[in-house]
Amino acid sequence: MNHRNVGTLDRALRAIIALACVATAVAVPLALPLRVGVFGGMALYLAITALAGTCLGYRLMGRSTCPTHARS
């Protein structure tokens, strides 16, 4: 059974935003633990959901951006 709930455009945007979060974590003049925790954590979550094609938040809300699993 396929459990994907993140569509192609959504996956691409998540990957782009994950890269932006990594760049921000490097460039922002904040303490290292704060940069890694906030921006690194967001980048990791977005990258994992982009690669896996599934989002826990969408699943909990019963949502999907995947055209084959879109709900009416």
**pLDDT, tens digit, 9 for 90 and up, residues 62-72:** 888 888 754 54
Q: What is the C-alpha separation between 40 and 29, in angstroms, rounded?
A: 14
Entry pTM: 0.81
Q: What is the pLDDT of residues 8-26, one digit of tens each?
A: 999 999 999 999 999 999 9
Q: Which helix (H) or strand (E) holds 58?
A: helix 56-61
Q: What is the C-alpha separation between 61 and 49, in angstroms, rounded?
A: 15
Where in the chain are the domains?
A: 8-69
